[in-house]
Amino acid sequence: MTTDESDAGWFASVPPDDPAAARDAIDHGSAVSPADWPRLAVESGFAEDADDYYDRLHEATRHATREAVAERERADDRQLIHAVRAMDDCERVANELAERATEWAGSRFDDVGTGIAGAREIAEREPDGDLDRRVISLSARTAALADERDALKATIDRVAPAVAPNLADMAGPELTARLIALAGGLEPLAKKPSGTVQVLGAEDALFAHLSGRAPSPKHGVIYTHEFVRGTRPEDRGSAARALAGKLALAARVDHYSGEYREVLHEDLRERMATIRARAESTESTGGDSAAPVDDSAVSEEEDA
């Protein structure tokens, strides 16, 4: 796809009777605004008349959609694990290289930014001499790696809902991929109890706890979920437990049935609303309860 075709119809660069090209155009094309495509298709000679156009459209959309469905259903948890790990690697390496590139560039140019954005700016410069060329080339590779990371993220966003529709809706595509990667696959995740799902990604803290050195972790990677992070600290344990419970169920539905179950999501939203309502109810009586707590804190300090 070239940019000047971005507002053309799907048929613009499709030779007649080329289903693969039509599929590619329907799947990956885009346009800001629709247009009178049947008329334009006839004018451009793609179709003889409106009826002919609709016949071709019927054939092309059915073919494209059938292939896209098959591809999305073939997408499996293994691929998602590779994609999320590759994304993390790209991000980590891009950040490291950006630090190196900007530090180096700072010794040669004025006004050097930091991080990936800084590396992108340096990559735009005109080199003057061999060392400049190396710094700028390194920055360009860093920027390309950051782009690759974004592309991987977009792929995860597309693949995760096909692999695990309920998990993806509940946890978002990225967290879904991370949970599946941490568990080692969708099936192992579906077989884990919710308590394990709750602390996936917090293995260090969990083993520290089991050897008696630390309190039990309240949450693992699910901390990144808005339901946990957006809940006040004293209720986060409850929120993490409720979320993990529904995620475990979602993983089972995704693995064993694969169908979207609205009721799961409703249940979780209802439960979260209840947990968050606690904060409101204590805030509204906060004037009364806050004072004694402050007093005890002061007296403890005095004792110490």
Categorise residue 72: left if φ over 0, alpha if ψ from -120 to 50, beta otherwise: alpha
Binds other proteins by CB under 8 A, chosen from 126, 262, 288, 300 = 262
Minimum CB–partner distance for residue 265 and other proteins (Å): 8
Beta-carbon contacts of 86 under 8 Å, excluding residues fewer than 6 positions away, are 152
Binds other proteins by CB under 8 A, chosen from 35, 151, 210, 298 = 35
Minimum CB–partner distance for residue 166 and other proteins (Å): 11
Q: Cβ closer to other proteins: 72 or 232? A: 72
- Kindly state the tokens that stand for 40: 């334009």
Using alpha carbons only, what angle is made at residue 244 by residues 240 and 250, rounded to the nearest 5 degrees? 150
- 16 is an interface residue for other proteins by CB under 8 A: no
Which residue in 202, 256, 253, 210 sits closest to 228, CA to CA? 202
Cβ atoms of 272 and 242 within 8 Å: the answer is yes
- 38 is an interface residue for other proteins by CB under 8 A: yes
Binds other proteins by CB under 8 A, chosen from 14, 23, 25, 90 = 25
Cβ atoms of 168 and 176 within 8 Å: the answer is yes
Region of 85-93, 114-122, 224-232, 262-270 interacting with other proteins (CB under 8 A): 262-270
Minimum CB–partner distance for residue 244 and other proteins (Å): 20
Binds other proteins by CB under 8 A, chosen from 44, 65, 114, 299 = 65
Report how far residue 151's alpha carbon sits from residue 156's, in angstroms, rounded to the nearest whole number: 9
Q: Which helix (H) or strand (E) segment is 271 a member of? A: helix 262-284
- Which residues of the chain form contacts with other proteins (CB under 8 A)? 7-10, 25-26, 29-38, 54-55, 57-58, 61-62, 64-66, 68-69, 72-73, 161-162, 165, 258-260, 262, 266, 269-270, 273
